[in-house]
Structures are given as C-alpha cells and as structure tokens.
Chains A and B, each alone.
With several copies, the nearest count.
Chain A
Amino acid sequence: MINAGDTAFVLIASAMVLLMTPGLAFFYGGMVRRKNVLGVLMQCFIIMCVLGLQWVLFGYSLSFAPGNAFIGSLDWAGLRGVGLEPYADYAATIPHQAFMIFQAMFAVITPALIIGAFAERMKFSAFLVFTLLWAFFVYDPIAHMVWGTGGLFRNLGVLDFAGGTVVHINAGVAALVTALYLGKRKHFPQAVAPHNLPFTVLGAGLLWFGWFGFNAGSALAANGIAVNAFVVTNTAAAAAGLTWALIDWLHNGKPTMFGTVTGAVAGLVAITPAAGFVGVIPAVLIGVGVSIICFLMVTVVKMKFGYDDSLDAFGVHGIGGIFGALATGLFASKALNPAGADGLFNGNPKLFLIQLGAVLFTLVYSLIATFVILKIVDKLIGVRVNEKDEAIGLDLTQHKETAYTVLE
C-alpha cells in the first residue's frame, strides 16, 4: 500500500542526499590549493553523472536484485521490473523506484568520499575508470551483502542503519589504499594552507543538512524511527564539532574553524550506522568519542606513518565509520527500535561481534579489491599526473580552466 506521506518524505530525503555531493565538493574544494579546486569540484560533480547512469542501468540491480550472498543479479538491469508498486522486502509503503532513487544518491556520494585521499594528483581519465570499476566491484557487492535480500551480512543480523559500513568504512578504506598507491604529493609532509576555508564551512553546512535526508530518510517512512534518526544525527554532529573545537583549544591554544567543521562531519559519519538504533545520550558519547579518535588519526597516526591522505578521507570517514559501526554494537537498543537488536551495553555481546566481523570483512574486501582496480587502471592509463602537471595544477592540466581570474 503506497503511503503518500512516506513517499513524499523519501523523495525529499533523496534530493537532500544528492545535495551532499556538491556539499562534499565544496568541503573538499576549499581544502586544496586554488590551482586544484576545479579538479576536485569536477571529480565530485561528474560522479553524479556517471554513477547516476550506472545505478539505473546496472548498479541497482547488482546491489538489490535477488542473487546470492555476495552480489545481486542483472535481473533488474535498466530497472526492468522496478516499477511504481512497492517492493515489500525493502520498503512496503513507497514505490519501488522511490527506494531505488534514494539508494542512487548513496551510490553517488560513496565514491566521491574517496576523492579526499588522492586529491591534487590523480589523472582525470584514470579517476573516471577507477570510479566506475569501483562502483561495480566494490560498492555494489558490499551494498548487496549489507542491505540486499539474501545478502551475507543482512542474514547474519548486522545493523547498518544508513550506511556506516557500506558507505563510510568502504570508501574510507579505499581512500587509504589510493593514498598509499598514488604516493605523496610533492610537498608532503609540509602542510599546505587550504585555499578557501569558507568553502569548506559552506560544504560542511550542506553536508550536515543533507545528512538528515541520509539518516532520517533511511527509515524509508515518515515515522518515529525517522524522527529519532534526525534527532541523534543532529546531536552527534553537535557533540563532535564542539569536542574537536575544545581539543584544538587545549592542544593548539585556539579553537579553529577547520577543526570544528571536521569534528562535525566526523560526528555525522559515526552516527550514521547507529542513527535508527540508539538514543540521544549514546549519540552524545559517539560524537565526543569520534572526535577524539579522528583527531589522533589525522594529527598523530597519519604523520607517524607518513601516508598522504590529502584531505583525511580515511582519517575521518574510514575511522569515523569503523568507530560508528562498533559503537552501534555497544549502544543499540531493541526498546527503541524493535526491528534492530540489543547491543553489548544492553546485554547482547553477540551483536558487537557480528558488527566487528562485518567491519573486518568490509575492510579486507575493500582493501584488496581497490588495490586490484588501481593496479589495472595504472597499467592501462597510469593513475598519477606527471610532476610538472602536479606543479601547475589539475585545473589547467586536466580541464583547461582556472577557478579564479587575477585581474577583472
């Protein structure tokens, strides 16, 4: 039975999630040097086009059509049989295509997150091929395992409300692999000043806004679970942003704008898998905890190991996602959402182990598959721009454009 309220809610949520990708483009675009800002914006924007097509032609079918434990099938390729009637296995009160287009936005933003790791040094052609292959061979299978009927983790009872595993751990690990594979930028480890922090703040604001669609929309109905997800999402972001600002204050003497928005985004990442299963106090703890952990990752661990995760895609999304998935295993409450499960702190240690297993599997799978794809793309066209193009910048060398004029 189609419910008008639910359908309207999911369509609006879909549009909000779409807006996260240009939001992410500004979030990342502000952090790079100005000779590379169009390169980053273009990478994010073209994903909306490429994945927007891949999803309706193949991706949705590979992720959600009935298949085996690891991958769907091509039965729904080109949306064959995906119509305007509800498909009760996924969402009983909205047209099947509404569920499909909501999921499309997740498929778009996930590979866009990886951009942060290889910013300022990847060839655009290689980026396109890499992203497309990654969608087919990494995103689609993991989405199927977690959310698809018959999927491995779904059958095991893994809780991932809005994509902490599928989106953030998956992309975060791929980010670490690409950062390591492409190698450091020329100046690393010397920090470069973000060319436009107001862009980054604007992007963070758009992300925070869109995340309500991401998390509350994942209830797939305009109901109490959606409201809970909305409230805890806001709470975790607030706690994490404030925590990072305070850490900055203690550690560097001043609270920084950049740190505060980084914290807020880390909070949004961490609450994502838990949003439908935890209440407001766990959300505060998750927000505080994720900022502390991510701060250590991007200041201490990254520098110690010397990998150039340019914009901290792994440090924030990968680590924040892992923390959130495990925190779900601690704090989840059946009293809050009967469709979920109790976590460790509610007397069910089994859920924590299941969550841990899903995290480890995703981590290993994404790591290996991403590496293989990079290797193939590297052999075919080479993944990294040459030294001179890196020095001149991606805007001019990859796109023949510049973002800013000097005079006039």
Chain B
Amino acid sequence: MKLVIAIIQPHKLEDVKKELYQEEVNLLTVSEVLGHGRQKGVTEVYRGIKETGNLLRKIQLEIAVNDNFLERTLKAITKGARTGETGDGKIFVLDLGECVRIRTGETGPEAIG
C-alpha cells in the first residue's frame, strides 16, 4: 500500500479529480496549503506597493492506494495537473504500513477501496 501526496495548482483541482475518477480512484483528501518551489510568486499590488509573495496557494492531495493502482494514480494526477509551466507541483509516494476503515475495523488492502 502507498500513500500518494501531491501538491498541485488550485485551479487544476477539478481536472485532476476528473482524471482520478476516470481511473476509478475515488478516495482522496484535499487540503489547502501554501507552497514554495521554483516558481516565482504571483505579484500582488497593495495600494501601489508590489508584493511578490514567495508562498503560493496550493492544493495538497492525499490518496491511499493499493500497489496495483499506484501507476495509474500518478498518471492521472500528472495528466490533470500539468500545464507545462513552473509551479505545476510535485507528487510524493510513501510506503503505507497500515490502513484501518473506522466504520468496520477492517485493515490492510481491503480497507483502502
């Protein structure tokens, strides 16, 4: 089992969700985070003072998958989130030691779906 953590552009969330649903990956957690990579911040202007924020709004996705779903999950995220410009984001994959479904108490690969 793997835990996939992806940091993407906020405006690509809908596209990524669509791609994931097409691959039948339905279980995801979304949170709003601030991120900082190579991308230069969007310049905002407040009363004439330019401010280049170096932390940008990003969306973080967490998706727990069984090993045989990993590849298609990565592909779906990449396809949905890519614009070709800096700031498209990153995907991290971690080993997932255990998974528990709270309602039933099931554990392991069974509990992920």
B-binding residues in A (CB < 8 A): 187, 190-194, 247-248, 251-252, 254, 256, 258-259, 262, 295, 298-299, 303, 312, 388, 391-393, 396, 400-402, 406-407
Contacts and interface: CB of A to CB of B under 8 A. Distances in A.
B98 interface: no
Given A406-B32, A406-B57, A401 B51 contact: no
B25 to A, nearest CB: 20
B24 interface: no
A-B complex: 9 closest residue pairs judged by Cβ atoms: A299-B48, A391-B11, A191-B51, A400-B45, A252-B45, A191-B49, A298-B47, A392-B11, A400-B44
B22 interface: no
A396 B11 CA distance: 12
B68 interface: no
Interface residues of B, number: 18
A234 to B, nearest CB: 23
Contacts of A187: 14
Contacts of B51: 190-193
A190 B14 CA distance: 12
A401 B47 contact: no
A191 B46 contact: yes
Nearest to A393: B11
Interface centre among A191, A254, A258 (most CB of B within 10 A): A191
Contact of B48 (A193, A259, A393): A259
B35 to A, nearest CB: 10
Contacts of B44: 193, 396, 400-402
A193 B57 CA distance: 14
Contacts of A247: 48
A388 B10 CA distance: 12
Contact of B53 (A193, A258, A298, A303): A193
A407 B31 CA distance: 13
Contact of A258 (B12, B43, B47): B47
A391 B83 CA distance: 12
B49 A299 contact: yes
Given A187-B14, A406-B34, A400 B43 contact: yes
Nearest to B32: A406
Interface in B8-29: 11-12, 14
Given A392-B11, A406-B57, A407-B34, A312 B47 contact: yes
A400 B43 CA distance: 7
A337 to B, nearest CB: 34
Nearest to A387: B11
B93 interface: no
Given A392-B11, A407-B34, A248 B46 contact: no
B46 A401 contact: yes
Nearest to B48: A299
A401 B45 contact: yes
Nearest to A253: B45
Interface string B33-46: 11000000011111
B47 A259 contact: yes
A193 B11 CA distance: 16
Interface string B41-70: 011111111110100010000000000000
B34 to A, nearest CB: 6
